[in-house]
């Protein structure tokens, strides 16, 4: 866990889903929420509809084991138009004992490596940090959260099709009483393949925000009593970017059709 503090903004970053889950399990309720009602564990019918889980335990099980139903839907929705520019594999000419063209002077001199051959040259791939904001207000429907999150999966697929690699994070930013709290969790490393089953719950499911991130607010020691009444208000994208200047921060609601994007790298520079 890495913590950053700037003025009245407190950001904690977790290197994996496992690290984040362990923090939730091992950290007691903070002073602000110790005697308050905990939204993360509500089981009434309205909360079940709002979170799409019946209780906190179901949410944690899906975090650990994946969300198979949504993974299948995502795979179907992630079919995208072919990119105009594919990754170019670079190669160079080298001398070898076998190849496609002889070097006569070397052959006559008895040098074993007298043939010209092609050798692939590893291309250093650019790594992009994609941060998906979970800053949805309470009035945003669970279906809208799913719709917006699918766009991120489509974008990541296109980024990696174009030869770049992605670190993917989710982040909650909430503000109350003049204090901002940001929780950032890595859900995919650049070296990992795009595992839709693993990413479906943390990236798409409403309970990632409305149960697990709420539990984070309930245990985070930097949270004050100003958060108790409504768990704070969404932090602006600009404030999120200020805390994560090297990352591409995607807003919670994003008016874009990924299939209309032709040059992904140029597009990322406009966000």
3-state per-residue secondary structure call for 24-78:
HHHCCCCCCCCCCCCHHHCCCHHHHHHHCCCCHHHHHHHHHHCCHHHHHHHHHHC
Long-range contacts of 148-152 (CB under 8 A, 24+ apart): 148/252, 148/253, 148/254, 149/203, 149/204, 150/74, 150/77, 150/78, 150/204, 151/254, 151/256, 151/258, 152/203, 152/250
User: Helix or strand or coil: residue 175?
Assistant: strand
Q: pLDDT by residue (tens digit) across 145-197?
A: 888 888 888 888 888 888 888 999 999 999 999 999 999 999 999 988 888 88
Q: pLDDT by residue (tens digit) across 105-118?
A: 877 788 888 888 88
pLDDT of residue 89: 52
Return left, alpha or beta for 202; rule: phi > 0 is left, psi -120 to 50 is alpha, else beta.
alpha
Give the residue, 77 or 249, on which the prediction is more confident: 249
pLDDT surpassing 50 at residue 212: yes
pLDDT of residue 90: 60
CA distance 101 to 98: 9
Q: pLDDT by residue (tens digit) across 221-271?
A: 999 999 998 999 999 999 999 999 999 999 888 887 777 777 777 777 777
Average pLDDT, the chain: 86
Grade residue 84 by pLDDT with cuts at 50, 70 and 90: very low
Q: Are 224 and 106 in contact (CB under 8 A)?
A: no
């Amino acid at each position: 866990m890495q913590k950053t503090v700037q003025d009245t903004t407190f950001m904690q970053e977790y290197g994996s889903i496992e690290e984040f889950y362990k923090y939730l399990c091992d950290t007691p309720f903070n002073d602000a929420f110790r005697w308050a009602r905990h939204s993360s564990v509500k089981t009434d019918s309205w909360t079940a509809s709002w979170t799409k889980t019946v209780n906190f335990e179901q949410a944690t099980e899906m975090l650990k084991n994946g969300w198979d139903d949504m993974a299948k839907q995502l795979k179907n929705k992630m079919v995208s138009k072919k990119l105009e520019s594919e990754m170019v594999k670079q190669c160079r000419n080298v001398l070898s004992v076998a190849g496609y063209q002889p070097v006569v002077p070397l052959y006559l001199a008895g040098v074993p490596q007298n043939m010209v051959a092609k050798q692939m040259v590893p291309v250093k791939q650019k790594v992009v940090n994609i941060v998906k904001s979970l800053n949805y207000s309470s009035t945003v429907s669970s279906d809208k959260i799913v719709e917006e999150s699918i766009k991120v999966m489509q974008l990541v697929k296109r980024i990696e099709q174009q030869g770049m690699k992605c670190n993917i994070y989710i982040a909650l930013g909430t503000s109350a009483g003049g204090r901002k709290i940001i929780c950032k969790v890595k859900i995919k490393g650049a070296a990992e393949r795009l595992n839709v089953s693993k990413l479906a719950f943390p990236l798409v499911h409403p309970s990632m925000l409305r149960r697990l991130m709420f539990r984070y607010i309930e245990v985070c020691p930097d949270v004050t009593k100003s958060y108790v009444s409504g768990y704070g208000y969404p932090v602006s994208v600009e404030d999120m970017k200020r805390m994560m200047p090297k990352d591409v921060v995607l807003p919670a609601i994003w008016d874009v059709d990924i299939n209309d994007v032709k040059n992904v790298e140029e597009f990322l520079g406009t966000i």
